[in-house]
Amino acid sequence: MNQKSRITVLGALLLAALRSTSALACGGGGVTSNVGVKTNAQRVFMSVRAAGITDVIAQITVPQTNADYGVLIPVPSEPTLDSEPVSATDLDDLDDYTAPIVTRQTEDSGGSGCGCGSMARGGAPMGSVIASTPVTIGPVEAVSLTGDSPSAVRGWLTDNGFSLPEADAPTLDRYVGEGKYFIAIRRSEHAATGAPSSIGIHYSLLGDHRMLSLGFTRIGAAEKLSFTLFLAAPRSTGPSAPFKALTLYDLSSVTLQHDDYALAVENAVAAHDSKAFVIESSTPMASVAVNVPGLARFADAGAQLTRATTVIAREQIADDAIFATPLEGSVPSRRSVSLDGPRLRYAGMGSLGLLLTAGALRRRSRRQPSVERS
């Protein structure tokens, strides 16, 4: 292959430019919005099946560029790659139908590849690396590979045009070992050169696998990343220790009132050592299946769909997250936040400013003449 062309390895599970959701006006002086983290977001749909497999759909976005492009996804066992892409529209619709709703009450309200050559073919060993036959999935080409040693995997990546920054080599090395695999993805030679596209990559794993490889996403990541997981399982399930399960009521009402949901999530997660997810909703899969048929086919009829989101600074990403802890009680998917006028004005003044203002108000009240009632 052309050794001059190199694809910088992106360790993201998926890189999605998500569409924004418009706010919906409602009566009573409030604004109701379907909210969510909409930028630099990574989305994955994971379905644990009674048949003993886990279906995973990771959304990737091939950018509008002629530059080489590639993504590397670590998986805990040998994956079976599906050549049929999943529509990004289905993922968008699932996002919309499961998004949490925040009502902001105002002061007056009353209430309530690239073309640089093809990847190595065939299932033959390459040193101590075994790579599958490439599968074309819409605009990209993917192979699964496993290696006995980190150096062998890095060598395969180099030989096939993937460039791994030396500083990120220790991160990749953690995900190499017996029984561990990677899915290597790049632009297909048959894709429209430079054209942007977004699809879901579907693969299946034998057994029950509910891990998000957060630590791996440090490779090629932006300074801040957000992740939204849609987990279809027999019951509502949250993250296991050391990660915490938060709800909408753990988010700052002040930040929500100022219409910055992503910042509210980020701050709540940071307050738990950057090891937390906000459980945004829990919905029977059957209630949304008709709206997302392309995804519903990968879930059991009686599955419960849990939506969980986190926002983490790159430097704080360390541990992988496993979703194996049943959630007790109901999961709130709506929240109303209301701040009165004085509280809005005094926000950020500090305790001394509040005391001084309160004292001034008391002095003025003493000087006001009394009003007799007739």
The continuous run of DSSP H or E covering 142 comes out as strand 140-147
Instruction: Give yes or no for residue 55 having a pLDDT over 70.
Output: yes
pLDDT at 186: 85
- Distance separating alpha carbons of residues 132 and 81, to the nearest angstrom: 10
User: Residue ranges of the domains in the chain?
Assistant: 7-367
What is the model's pLDDT at position 53?
A: 97
Q: pLDDT by residue (tens digit) across 1-51?
A: 333 345 545 554 332 222 223 222 222 334 444 555 544 568 899 999 999
- Give the separation between CA 200 and CA 221, rounded to whole angstroms: 20
pLDDT at 342: 39
- Cβ of 22: how many Cβ atoms within 10 Å? 8
Return the pLDDT at 32.
42
Distances (CA, A) of 299 to 99, 144, 321: 19, 23, 21
* Whole-number pLDDT of residue 30: 42
On whether the CB atoms of residues 114 and 322 are closer than 8 A, the answer is no
> Comparing C-alpha atoms, which of 229, 232, 207 is closest to residue 217?
229
- Residue 346 pLDDT > 50: no
- Enter the tokens of residue 286: 């059957």
Q: Nearest 5°: phi and psi at 132?
A: -80, 170
Q: Average pLDDT over the chain, rounded to whole? A: 77
The pLDDT score that the predictor gives to residue 350 is 32
Alpha helices by DSSP H, listed for the chain, are 88-98, 150-159, 169-173, 253-257, 261-270, 285-288, 293-296, 341-346, 351-367
* Structure confidence by residue, pLDDT tens digits, 136-167: 998 889 999 999 999 999 999 988 888 888 88
Respond yes or no on whether the N-terminal peptide bond of residue 342 is cis (omega within 30° of 0): no
pLDDT by residue (tens digit) across 165-195? 888 899 999 999 999 999 999 877 765 555 5
Predicted pLDDT at 318: 87
Q: What is the pLDDT of residue 166?
A: 87
User: What confidence tens digit (pLDDT) does each residue in 237-265 have?
Assistant: 999 999 999 999 999 999 998 889 999 99
